[in-house]
Amino acid sequence: MRTKITDIATYLPEKVVTNDDLSKNLDTSHEWIYTRTGIESRHISSEDEVTSTLAIEATRKLMQQSSIEPMDLDAIIVSTTTGDTRFPSCACKVQGAIGACRAFAFDVNAACAGFIYALAVADSMMKSMKLRKVLLIASETITKFVDWTDRSTCVLFGDGAGAMLLEATENGDTGIIATKLYANGEDEKYNSILAHNGEQNGNRGYITMAGRTVFKYAIDYMAMSMKEILDENNMSMDDIDWIIPHQANRRILESMCKMRDFPLDKVIITTQEHANTSSASIPLALRDALDKGKVKQGDTLLFTALGAGLTWGSAIVKI
């Protein structure tokens, strides 16, 4: 039995903020942001939208475009680092909103690598527990955690959500081929790379980042994890139709490909319009590539991501 991605829907907040918009209140410019990140604009959640709001909207779109009914779901897993509250989970809020009372529900937090982690967890649970249908969502409102006076961080992020339907299949030619996860939390230099800072007196804090350090680790670790998962499955880049990485920064993706001699023309890049949406970035990029006719049924995809912790990993999926 394999786990297959049978459908995917996304939701992006209506508000779009361009680099020029940011330059009105920050000492920056479109050129400064774009040349360093590849970002042109980002979607920003409204005051009335929280992470579960985006997750529910993406799920409702998924339900409309697929034949799935809420009562068909065995489980709901949400990847997020920006949950509405410490508890209950976003997954439970989605379950209640759509009436999927048969499904158990929980969240996964592995920062920007959360989607890869959640995909691996869902795949393992479907096989070990013989689940048939699982709703996997990655939803983030990370802009609610940025300091809008800090041009080194606030220009990087956007909000969004992607919802996937995972189904068990006996067709060995499609589905999740392999997943591989990593973490390194042994040293303070890792734990302080990306963190919520100043969480006191009800203030949720803001993101701080050691940008140059993050840049180096993202290149090294994502490239390494892709090579290792390919080697362990007796595959090469020739077997991969598209690489869909975490959309943190275009320069990171270009450097990652150069390090391992991966072809850049096989990489799906959406940083220009989505910015860094944390764990939601891979589902958003996949839906965008499907809509544009780049990714097609039967393609073999290589996902990879790195997040705070450090957490990182890769997955090979044939859709």
As a whole number of angstroms, the distance between CA 26 and CA 262 comes to 36
As a whole number of angstroms, the distance between CA 226 and CA 237 comes to 9
Respond yes or no: is residue 43 known to be catalytic. no
Interacting residues of 231 by C-beta distance below 8 A, sequence separation 6+: none
Estimate the crossing angle of helix 211-232 against helix 250-260, to 10 degrees.
40
CATH 3.30.465.10 fits 2-169, yes or no: no
Which of 19, 109, 249, 276 does the annotation list as catalytic?
276
Respond yes or no: is residue 246 known to be catalytic. yes
Digitized pLDDT (tens) for each residue of the chain, 319 residues in all = 999 999 999 999 999 999 999 999 999 999 999 999 999 999 999 999 999 999 999 999 999 999 899 999 999 999 999 999 989 999 999 999 999 999 999 999 999 999 999 999 999 999 999 999 999 999 999 999 998 999 989 999 999 999 999 999 998 889 999 999 999 987 556 554 445 555 544 456 788 887 788 888 899 999 999 999 999 999 999 999 999 999 999 999 999 998 888 889 999 999 999 999 999 999 999 999 999 999 999 999 999 999 988 999 999 999 9
In what helix (H) or strand (E) does residue 57 lie, and over which residues does it extend?
helix 51-65
CA-nearest of 139, 63, 69, 57 to 103 is 69
Which of 109, 246, 249, 274 does the annotation list as catalytic?
246
Which of 43, 90, 92, 112 does the annotation list as catalytic?
112
CATH 3.40.47.10 fits 175-318, yes or no: yes
List where CATH 3.40.47.10 sits in the chain. Answer: 2-169, 175-318
